[in-house]
Amino acid sequence: MTLPFFPVDLFDGDREALLDIVERVGTAPEQKFILGECTAAFEAAIRDSIGAADAIACGSGTSALMLVLRAMDVGAGDEVIVPAFGCAPLAAAPALVGATPVFADVDPWTMVADPEAVTRLITPRTKVLMPAHMFSVMADMPAFRRVADGAGVRLLEDSAVAQGGVLAGTPAGRWGDAGVYSFVQVKTFGMPGEGGMVVTDDRELGSTVRMLRNHGQDGTTRFRHHRIGYNSRFDEIMAAFQLHRFPTLPGRLERRAWIGEYYTGRFRELAGCGVLAPPSASDGRCYYVYSLLCERRDELHEFLAARGIGSHVYYRNPLPRQPAFAPYARPGQTWPAAELAARRSLAIPIYPHLTDQQVERIADAVCEFAKES
């Protein structure tokens, strides 16, 4: 039986509920399809679950980053320090608001931004530090909080992949002046559509984000625009669907954690064979993706495929090596750990409805490759 990396049946168990929600929202007398009661209830559920002062649902995790940067008045002449290894929005969001993304190298093992590398890049133009959690590991947010406070700059925590993660007792998204989540299909709280969330303890910042997501309107007087904003509004059907699934999120997170910890235990002995698992720890883990570092990454990918096991390569190039972002790279700067991660990282399946037998089969195949190749 084939085990795909991106499963097609993530929401099969909720099919009837989703159809009922579509009918209920579609036939409701108020005909409110965006930013209605369901969105408000979903925001309240996320806000209360992590103890934040505000939570603002928006169109995507990418737009959540942009909205926060705009709310922080980031623009031309400002610099935003981001990881050199990660998804395109890390660099695109600052660039789209007119700022300059500055690329910091990452930790060679965890692949999250290195606080020391970030510190060396701070200049008088630096306005925001934007670390991102990566795969199954949260960034060192206590260190980034200290660096940001010491430099007098804002801290924006990209928690798009880390919803449900906790570090030193603080939920992912709560370490920065603001944090963001993503609800795209394969995330830990994914849904069959696009969506994101900004969470913050800064009520003024939250109010500005709320205004910017809806063309600069403040929600009191329609067609009165206080700022130039965006169309980044949340869908009522998706809000109702996420509310339906919210009580079962802890169970799915617990299952992901079990799979990840099982993998790490099985792979601990493979470091001398060219396959390196993530660090073994329970604190600061999120298990959105389980990514190995493999000296012969492409060979492992093919080996698994031949056995019916899907795997996936994220980010074959560091961000400053991408054509879109190369113009922002500082001359002579290098990112050796990010380059190494781009060559070696390979993600294997970790979705919560994998059976124990399937998880064991995946681990067996990785061990077979490492020990016999």
Mind telling me the catalytic residues?
A: 187
Do 188 and 164 form a contact (C-beta atoms < 8 A)?
yes
Q: Sign of the CA dihedral 139, 141, 351, 58?
A: negative
| Residue linked to tokens 């980034």 | 144
- Contact residues for 198 (Cβ-Cβ < 8 A; gap 6+): 54, 55, 56, 58, 64, 67, 68, 178, 179, 180, 206, 209
Phi, psi (degrees; rounded to nearest 5) at 53: -80, -30
Do 155 and 179 form a contact (C-beta atoms < 8 A)?
no
Give the whole-angstrom CA distance, residue 19 versus residue 229: 33
Rounded to the nearest 10 degrees, how much is the dihedral formed by the CA atoms of 59, 64, 67, 73? -170
Please give the single-letter amino acid code of residue 89. P
- Crossing angle for the helix pair 249-267 and 356-372, nearest 10 degrees? 30
Give the whole-angstrom CA distance, residue 44 versus residue 33: 18
CA geometry: angle 278, 281, 282, nearest 5 deg: 120
| Residue linked to tokens 């699934």 | 245
Phi, psi (degrees; rounded to nearest 5) at 230: -130, 165
Is residue 83 exposed (0-12), middle (13-18) or buried (19+ Cβ within 10 Å)?
buried
Q: Sign of the CA dihedral 111, 164, 206, 148?
A: negative
